C-alpha cells in the first residue's frame, strides 16, 4: 500500500443553492491526504446528460439524495478502496463500469461525479499542490476569461424572459481581476437602471437580476446601457454573451418565444438571433437552437461562426462522441464543459480533448444549482480551457468560484493574465 492508496470513501448529504439536497464525497488516502467535492445540479438539462439519482417521494420535492449517498458509502466506496488516487482515469473507469448504465442512472451521476472529483482533490493533496497545478503538471497556465451573468431568465427565473442568460465578457480586460472589476461595475449599473424603472424583481437562480422586461430585446438594450453607465465601451471593453438555452422553449423548427409572443421555425430563429448579432455587441451565443436541431446549429455556425462563438451545451453535454459528431456536421465552434453532465472528470476531459482536436473553444461551467465547491475553477485553470462560466458575480456559491480564481491568479508567474484576444472567434 502506497501513500496515495485510497483508504476510505465517505458520502454525506449536504445542501445546494436551491435548498435541495446534494451529494458530498470525502476520500481519504493511506498517507493521510484527503479530498472532498460536492455534486452540483442543473435545471435546464440536456437530454443526453448523466442522470442524477434522486429519491422521489414527498420530502424535498423528490430531490432527496439518500439513495445516491448510500451508493457512495456502499458500492462506490468498496470499488475505489485500494486503488491509487494518482490513477484518476483508472478510478473513473472503475466507476463507469460499476454503474454499468449509459446514463449513469443506477448509482447516479451526482454520486459518481462527486466521487470522481474527490479522488482528484485527494491526489493533489497527497502531492501537496492545488488541484489546478496537479492537472497542469509543468505547464504554466493562464487564467480563463470569465463570462458572467447580469440578467437571469428562462428556467432560472420562471421564464420571465425566454433567453436564459444575458451575460457579459470583459473582452478588453488586461487580466482576470480587471474582468471581475468591470463586470461588478456593469452589474451594479444594471441593478440601478432596473430599480429606477421599476423593472427589478429580485435575483434569479445564478445571482443575476430577475428582470420584469417586456421582451428579450429590452434586456439587450438595458445591458448595453448598463455597460455604458459603468463607463465602459460596449463591444471594445465589455461585450455580450447569450445562453439562449433553446431546448427549454423549442425543438427543431418550432420555437415558442412567449415574451415576444411568437413561434418561429429554425430559419426564423436564426434570423432573430442574427438580427441581434448585427444590432448588439454579441460575441458568444450558447445553444441558439435546440439540441435536436444539428442541421440548424450547422447553418447558424456557417452564418456567424467566423466572428461569434457558438457554444454547444445541451447539444454536446460534455461528451466527446457528441463533440465529434457536431464537428463533422460543422455545428458550433465551442463546447461547454460541465463535469456532472459527463459523470466523471475523465469523460469531461475527453470532451475537452475532442474539442481541441476539432479546433473548438472550451468553457468550463458550473450549474444553476451550486455550492461552495470550487473544483470547476481548478479544472478551467489546470486544463487551460481558456474560459469559465459560473453564473453571476453575486451569491456566495458564485463568488466562491470567482474568489478562488483571484487566489490562484496571485500565485501564477504572469498573475491573472488571460488568453490573447486572437484566441477567440471575436478576435480573429
Ligand atoms: P443549468 O443551466 O445548470 O440549469 O443546466 C446552465 C446552462 O444552461 O448553461
Ligand atoms: Zn447552457
- Dig out the grid coordinates for 261 from the structure: 409572443
The answer on pLDDT for 261 being more than 90 is no
- Dig out the grid coordinates for 240 from the structure: 455580450
Contact assessment for residue 164 and residue 376, using Cβ atoms and an 8 Å cutoff: no
CA atoms within 13 A on the CB side of 326: 36
pLDDT of residue 160: 84
Quote the ligand 2 centre to 80 CA distance (angstroms). Answer: 32
Relative orientation angle of helices 176-196 and 396-411, to the nearest 10 degrees: 150
DSSP H or E stretch at residue 356: helix 345-357
CA dihedral 422, 165, 371, 41 (to 10 degrees): -110
Q: Is 196 a catalytic residue?
A: no
Mutate to test the pocket of ligand 1, among 22, 39, 44, 247 (most ligand atoms within 8 A of CB): 44
pLDDT of residue 360: 98
CA distance 120 to 34: 10
Quote the ligand 2 centre to 130 CA distance (angstroms). Answer: 28
CA distance 77 to 196: 55
Relative orientation angle of helices 396-411 and 375-382, to the nearest 10 degrees: 40
CA angle 2, 128, 30 (to 5 degrees): 25
Name the active-site residue from 49, 206, 286, 291: 206
Contact assessment for residue 6 and residue 83, using Cβ atoms and an 8 Å cutoff: yes
The answer on pLDDT for 355 being more than 90 is yes
Percent of the chain with pLDDT over 70: 100
Q: Is 389 a catalytic residue?
A: no
pLDDT of residue 428: 83
Mutate to test the pocket of ligand 1, among 17, 157, 245 (most ligand atoms within 8 A of CB): 245
pLDDT of residue 423: 97
Average pLDDT value over all residues in the chain: 97
pLDDT (tens digit per residue) in 60-114 = 999 999 999 999 999 999 999 999 999 999 999 999 999 999 999 999 999 999 9
Phi, then psi, of 324 in degrees rounded to 5: -65, -40
Mean pLDDT computed over 15-41: 98
pLDDT of residue 401: 99
Mean pLDDT computed over 317-321: 98
Mean pLDDT computed over 310-334: 98
pLDDT of residue 132: 98
Contact assessment for residue 286 and residue 387, using Cβ atoms and an 8 Å cutoff: no
pLDDT of residue 44: 92
pLDDT of residue 158: 86
- Give the model's confidence band at 167: pLDDT under 50 very low, under 70 low, under 90 confident, else very high: very high
Chain-centroid distance of CA 359 in Å reads 20
Contact assessment for residue 289 and residue 297, using Cβ atoms and an 8 Å cutoff: yes
- Closest ligand to 42 CA? 1
The answer on pLDDT for 260 being more than 90 is no
Residue that the C-alpha cell 475523465 belongs to? 346
Q: Is 337 in the pocket of ligand 1 (CB under 6 A)?
A: no
pLDDT of residue 214: 87
CA distance 191 to 102: 44
Amino acid at each position: 500500500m502506497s501513500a496515495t492508496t485510497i483508504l476510505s470513501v465517505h458520502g454525506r448529504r449536504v445542501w445546494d443553492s436551491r435548498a435541495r439536497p446534494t451529494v458530498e464525497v470525502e476520500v481519504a488516502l493511506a498517507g493521510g491526504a484527503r479530498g472532498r467535492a460536492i455534486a452540483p445540479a442543473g435545471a435546464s438539462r440536456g437530454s443526453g446528460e448523466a442522470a442524477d439519482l434522486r429519491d422521489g417521494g414527498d420530502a424535498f420535492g423528490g430531490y432527496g439524495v439518500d439513495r445516491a449517498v448510500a451508493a457512495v458509502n456502499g458500492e462506490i466506496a468498496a470499488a475505489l478502496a485500494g486503488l491509487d488516487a494518482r490513477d484518476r482515469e483508472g478510478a473513473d473507469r472503475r466507476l463507469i463500469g460499476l454503474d454499468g448504465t449509459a446514463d449513469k442512472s443506477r448509482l447516479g451521476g451526482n454520486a459518481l461525479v462527486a466521487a470522481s472529483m474527490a479522488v482528484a482533490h485527494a491526489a493533489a493533496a497527497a502531492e501537496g499542490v492545488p488541484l489546478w497545478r496537479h492537472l497542469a503538471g509543468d505547464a504554466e497556465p493562464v487564467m480563463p476569461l470569465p463570462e458572467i451573468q447580469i440578467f437571469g431568465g428562462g428556467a432560472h427565473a420562471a421564464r420571465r424572459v425566454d433567453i436564459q442568460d444575458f451575460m457579459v465578457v470583459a473582452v478588453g480586460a488586461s487580466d482576470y481581476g480587471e474582468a471581475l472589476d468591470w463586470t461588478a461595475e456593469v452589474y451594479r449599473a444594471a441593478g440601478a437602471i432596473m430599480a429606477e424603472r421599476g423593472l427589478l424583481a429580485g435575483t434569479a437562480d445564478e445571482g443575476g437580476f430577475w428582470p420584469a422586461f417586456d421582451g428579450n430585446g429590452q434586456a439587450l438594450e438595458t445591458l448595453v446601457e448598463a455597460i455604458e453607465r459603468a463607463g465602459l465601451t460596449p463591444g471594445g471593453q465589455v461585450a455580450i454573451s447569450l445562453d439562449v438555452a433553446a431546448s427549454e422553449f423549442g425543438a427543431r423548427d418550432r420555437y415558442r418565444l412567449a415574451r415576444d409572443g411568437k413561434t418561429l421555425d429554425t430559419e426564423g430563429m436564426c434570423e432573430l438571433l442574427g438580427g441581434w448579432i448585427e444590432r448588439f455587441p454579441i460575441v458568444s451565443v450558447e445553444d441558439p437552437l435546440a439540441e435536436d436541431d444539428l442541421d440548424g446549429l450547422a447553418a447558424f455556425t456557417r452564418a456567424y461562426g467566423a466572428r461569434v462563438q457558438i457554444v454547444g451545451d445541451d447539444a454536446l453535454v460534455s461528451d466527446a462522441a457528441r463533440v465529434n459528431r457536431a464537428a463533422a456536421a460543422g455545428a458550433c465552434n465551442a463546447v461547454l464543459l460541465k463535469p456532472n453532465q459527463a459523470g466523471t472528470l475523465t469523460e469531461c476531459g475527453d470532451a475537452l480533448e475532442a474539442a481541441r482536436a476539432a479546433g473548438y473553444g472550451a468553457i468550463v461551467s458550473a450549474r444553476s444549482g451550486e455550492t461552495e465547491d470550487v473544483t470547476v475553477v481548478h479544472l478551467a485553470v489546470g486544463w487551460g480551457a481558456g474560459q469559465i462560466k459560473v453564473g453571476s458575480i453575486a451569491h456566495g456559491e458564485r463568488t466562491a468560484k470567482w474568489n478562488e480564481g483571484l487566489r490562484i491568479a496571485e500565485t501564477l508567474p504572469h498573475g491573472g493574465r488571460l488568453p490573447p484576444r486572437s484566441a477567440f472567434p471575436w478576435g480573429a
